Amino acid sequence: MKRSLMEILRCPKCKGELELNVIQEEDEIEEGTLECGKCDITYPIEEGIPNMIPQR
């Protein structure tokens, strides 16, 4: 995913802003996490694709 996506990407549950943690970045973010502090949910970014379906 591109960093510019952060402008519109939100937690699907509370619609609040997310904290981006980058693990691997090339032309775009390949691996990382997106954290919602309010909902205490971490959304993984794997092979460039954020998974925004809450896993619990």
Partner 1 sequence: MDDAKRAGETFDSIAEHFDRTRNRTWDEVIEFIKAGEGRLLDMGCGNGRHSLAALEYGYDVTGLDASGKLLDICRKKTNSMDWIKGDVKTLPFEKQAFNRVVCIAVIHHLKKNRTDCVKEIRRVLKSDGRALISTWAREQDRWELEEDQRDVMVPWHLEDGTVVQRFYHLYTLEELVEEVKRGELKVIRAYNSGGNNYVECRR
Nearer to partner 1, 14 or 23 (CB): 14
Q: What is the DSSP letter of 5?
A: G
Longest dimension (CA), the chain: 31
| Smallest distance from partner 1 to CB 47, Å | 7
Nearer to partner 1, 40 or 47 (CB): 47
d(CA 33, CA 20): 6
| Smallest distance from partner 1 to CB 37, Å | 15
**Of residues 13-42, which lie at the interface with partner 1 (CB under 8 A)?**
13, 15, 27-28
Asked if 13 contacts 36 with a C-beta cutoff of 8 angstroms, the reply is yes
